Amino acid sequence: MLGLLYQQIGSWRVINQLKMNYNSEMEKAMFQSHGIGYERYCNDFSARMKVEARREEDYNKEKRLLQELGNTNS
């Protein structure tokens, strides 16, 4: 699958091309975690940015939690 993405952001133009190979288990996990499939993820820039923002938010929450747990064990 080849996705070509173009998005106008202010005066910037973003062109992004994704070539992703995925299987049915990956597709199922993507739907369960983010509510979209890989086809849409590859072809819909705003959906992909929402997924990536959510992933970054989850990562930062986990990082803060681990820091808090580390501080309580000291």
Tell me the pLDDT tens digit for each residue of 17-73: 566 778 889 889 999 999 999 888 888 889 999 999 999 999 999 999 999 998 776
Q: Quick check: 5 pLDDT over 50? A: no
CA neighbor of 48 nearest in space, from 62, 36, 32: 36
Q: What is the pTM of this model?
A: 0.64
Q: Are 32 and 16 in contact (CB under 8 A)?
A: no
Task: Please state, in angstroms and rounded to a whole number, the distance separating the CA atoms of residues 40 and 74.
Answer: 45
Q: Note the Cα 12 to chain centre separation in Å.
A: 21
Q: What is the pLDDT of residue 19?
A: 67
Q: Note the Cα 28 to chain centre separation in Å.
A: 15
